Amino acid sequence: MVDSADRPPEASPERKTNIQSRLTYLGRRFPPLRWLGFLFYPIWWVFQKLGSILFASGRKRKLNKRRRRSNMAVRRARLRTMLARRSPPQNAHVAFAIPRNDQEPEEQVSKGFSRLVTLTALSSVAILTLTVVYLLQVRPEQDAPAQTPAQEAASVTEPTATPLPTLQPTATPPATPVPTPTEIIIELQPRMAVDPLAAGGSIVYALHQNGNTDLYALTIGQSEQIRLTNDSAVDEAPAWSPDGRKIAFASARSGNDDIYVLELQSGEIQQITTQAGYDGQPGWSPDGEWLVYESYQNKNLDIYIIRVDGSQDPIRLTENDGPDMGPDWSPDGREIAWSGMRDNQFDIWLMSLDSVGDSRAVNLTQSADIDETNPQFDWDSARLTWSGRAQGDSVNQVMMGDLSAGRDQLSAVLVGQGVHPAWSPAGDSLVWSSDVQNQGVIQIGAVNSFGIVPQSFLQDGVVDGSDWGVVSLAAEPAGWLNDVNQTSAVALFTETIEIAETEPDDSAESETDAEPEADEAVVEENDPAAPFTLRRVIRNDDLALLSDSVDQSFLALRSRVEFETGVDVLGDIERMFVPINAATQPGEGYETWHRAGRAFDINNELALGFSPILEIVRRDAQDQTYWEVFILAENQDGTQGRPLTEFPWDFRSRFGENPVDYDEGGRLKDEIPSGYYVSLTELARDYGWEPVPADRNWRTFYPGVRFWQFEKRDGLSWEEAMLEIYNADQLESR
């Protein structure tokens, strides 16, 4: 029997101080404080050990080291004793130790609740209390609405620029005041939408309307656009200079497509490039001393750079056989991104100016069957935006990628539908353009908030190319800018009921000066009492007839096509008017617009020869197939047309030995034809003539292709168009 009385008396512990006794008593009276102490005890223990190791003196470290060794030796001895101790006999009785009563009541607490543990618990409670008080003080008041601060934009001094006015929110009726509760437990705030217009500045873009393209600017916060150029030649692809005082653009005002710079303060326009051939799509270096652009030289489209002051000849950066276009200079000044075709596909490429060469360029996108174009850096060169389109499709997608993650392959994020995306000066918003029923739409969206509907600005015309600058133009332009802005548009043609017998006015546009004469003969089926008669528009062709409501538009279009291309394609018409009682063609319904005198077919054989005059590019949109017709210009010196950048469709391959080509209605050509081409489809739309979509069976039924057919409906139904040239009895008795 083991008696605890035989044990040697233990040393009496030191008495606790008055503060420690009070803390111990406080911990016993308030049990939650004890649990907080146990909760923070491991943290305190870790900091105590680290402090003893890091901040102890040399003598103290030696002492701690001996203590640790001693403690480890004691633990090992206890472990050996426990393992070697024999079990007591079964009939043995063990007497338990009597609790010690020589301590004061407030000292009889758990040994783990020491002085430092108590202090840690009290400190934690104090920190939590201060945190709650701070949160209650900084909580936003309910009655104060949140406002988005507008960034101040740089301003071009007189006469063209003024500081950006503060945007005024839309007026809303005042809400009925609600009493504020005296106690709020949880306050939920709605998600605040980022305002894409808070970046300020102005957007410059090319707007195609009334048969011509000019530059316009729209200042953020203003509703009226400002016209910047007014020339009979096409002005396009504008780009703001880094300081916002100049705009680089491409224009054919000198005969060729060259690069020009518009100085906003004076209105002066400086020609930068002068070599023969096509130059376009300029972009600025960050110091404003260089321009990067695309140029068609030696039957190839490549990337060049040139000094703005003209002190140095252009420097060629790419030499690949495929077309390279749409370049942009990084804001850090050391890289250039562009769209280049390799392996019959356009990708976004990146070249360092420290290591120039096609073999050293990096393919950033590597997207299969998707053509990516028009890249642009943000303000710190960390991100890139571009537009992409599936091959054969007509729907363009605006994409964005992060360059900070690496240059191997960008992880693309879909932004919206459109082309020519551009960053805001602060890099927090994007602007891009789209085309809706031949009307341009400028869209602006905030970065990281693309789920929210972007701001849209509808333009009366097609928007082609845009850029966002730091300046804000004056709401009421003055000086040269006011003169340009007040210029009135000249009509492309005038639709008359009777063909004029006098000579055309010399003041008319050059395109209409050479309009071919039209005979005044009419066909027997036409009702003389009808609102409109049928007029012959091509000599020596009895069925080259159109309704008098559309004949002048065709004559003006024919003259314009011959002026732009040097080829009278519309003088070789395959089919135009179909009499009311004529038989229908195979695969074609009766209600064709040829019977209403509002359609014409060009000669499709011009696209099927071994050296075709016409090239046809396939467009797929909304489950339908459309075609864009390009005419090979007569002058191949750059004064007419632009180089092709897409693969045309090869209809001849459908008659070959490959059954796949027959089932698909043909295939893409093996290469992009060299030379300069003019889009007949775009010119026809300027005069109201729209291309006709292909039939569903066009792949196996060639007459259903219909790339050669154009119609002008003017919003009329087929019956309404027929009643313009026939009476109701003739239409019913057909």
Per-residue pLDDT tens over the stretch 124-170: 767 777 776 666 554 444 343 344 333 443 444 333 333 333 333 33
Predicted local confidence at residue 189, as pLDDT: 34
Residue 298's nearest CA partner among 275, 271, 264 is 275
Domain count, the chain: 2
* Average pLDDT rounded to a whole number, residues 168-184: 37
Tell me how far CA of residue 691 lies from CA of 629, 707, 711, in angstroms: 9, 7, 7
Give the model confidence (pLDDT) of 293-349 as tens digits.
Answer: 999 999 999 999 999 998 899 999 999 989 999 999 999 999 999 999 988 889 999
CA distance 162 to 165: 8
**520 lies in a domain?**
yes
User: Domain for residue 606, yes or no?
Assistant: yes
Helix, strand, or coil here: 257?
A: coil
Encoding tokens for residue 566? 């040097």
Report the pLDDT averaged over residues 456-461. Answer: 81
| pLDDT given for residue 541 in this prediction | 85
Measured CA to CA in angstroms, residue 288 lies from 281, 308, 332 at distances of 16, 8, 12
Residue of 554 and 26 predicted with greater confidence: 554
Domain endpoint, select from 122, 150, 172: 122
Last-in-domain residue among 66, 90, 122: 122
Residue 5 has pLDDT above 90, yes or no: no
Q: Is 76 exposed, middle or buried (0-12, 13-18, 19+ CB in 10 A)?
A: exposed
DSSP state, residue 526: S
Q: What is the pLDDT of residues 182-208, one digit of tens each?
A: 333 333 333 344 566 666 789 999 999
Name the residue among 270, 268, 267, 262 with its Cα closest to residue 478: 267
Give yes or no for a contact between 659 and 621, defined as CB atoms under 8 angstroms apart: no
In a domain, 449, yes or no: no
Domain boundary among 90, 122, 154: 122
Residue pair 263/272 in contact by the 8 Å Cβ criterion = no
Is residue 209 in some structural domain?
A: no
- Mean pLDDT (whole number) for 622-635: 92
607-612: average pLDDT = 90
pLDDT per position as a tens digit, 210-267 = 889 999 999 988 888 999 999 989 999 999 999 999 999 999 999 899 999 999 999 9
Burial class (CB in 10 A: 0-12, 13-18, 19+), 79: exposed
Residue 242 counted as domain residue = no
β-partners of residue 372 are 388
Q: CA 371, CA 550: separation in Å to the nearest integer?
A: 38
Percent of the chain with pLDDT over 90: 43
Instruction: Dump strand ranges (E) for 158-234.
Output: 202-209, 212-219, 226-227
Tell me the residue range of the domain where 46 lies. Answer: 18-54+113-122
Please check whether residue 454 lies inside any domain of the structure: no
**Domain presence at residue 640:** yes
265 found inside a domain: no
Residue 522 has pLDDT above 60, yes or no: no
